[in-house]
Chain A
Amino acid sequence: ETGVTQSPTHLIKTRGQQVTLRCSSQSGHNTVSWYQQALGQGPQFIFQYYREEENGRGNFPPRFSGLQFPNYSSELNVNALELDDSALYLCASSSGGYSSRHTDTQYFGPGTRLTVL
């Protein structure tokens, strides 16, 4: 059984650019959640995808968007990057989701470190 994987590990972008981060969920999981962790803070919920549809969103602007694919892998896209977007982006996969309003235990990937200059 493979765990949650994320790519790339590290990324450096400049203000105004766009970025795409990728996540492969754990085998058997149909739900992916994304979190942003700024330095010295706890992770903040961005959004969740269940069976290719957005299933809840945190307090993030529309320039943060996502996709989930039929194999349940997911992408996080951020447009018009700002300096404050510099953070560790964590992906978590789980089973359950929309139909139960609550997912089973979320398993986290190693994260992507994004630096915006």
Chain B
Amino acid sequence: KQEVTQIPAALSVPEGENLVLNCSFTDSAIYNLQWFRQDPGKGLTSLLLIQSSQREQTSGRLNASLDKSSGRSTLYIAASQPGDSATYLCAVEYGNKLVFGAGTILRVKS
């Protein structure tokens, strides 16, 4: 069964901290892995997409890594800001569908 797990479920940090969100998946036959941001009651905003042949992707203060063999990905957020407060979702693409984790709820305190 294709499952995606995200740890921690929730995280509260002071502004300025660097933080790491974790994602693990059971089936390593992936096409790609994507990290999304979701604000309360809203749709999904794509942050980073890592192809299965890649090891990492960077965008601004965000860096995502992928270790397909161990079934793990991490999202690193540098110098966190209150505006980063949201739910972060990891999604693994298998064929024509995305399998999502339950998300990590991030709160950055000012």
Residues of A participating in the B interface, judged by any CB pair closer than 8 Å: 31, 33, 35, 40-45, 48, 50, 55-56, 58, 88, 90, 92, 97-98, 101-103, 105-111, 113
Contact = CB atoms under 8 A, between A and B. Distances in A.
A102 B101 CA distance: 20
Interface of B: 4, 31, 34, 36, 41-46, 49, 89, 91, 93, 95-103
A92 B31 CA distance: 17
Majority secondary structure, B binding face: strand
A102 B44 contact: no
Nearest to A106: B98
In the A-B complex, the 9 residue pairs with the smallest Cβ-Cβ separation, listed nearest first, are: A42-B100, A110-B43, A45-B97, A108-B44, A56-B96, A111-B43, A108-B43, A42-B102, A43-B100
B106 to A, nearest CB: 15
A102 B100 contact: no
B100 to A, nearest CB: 3
A90 B44 contact: yes
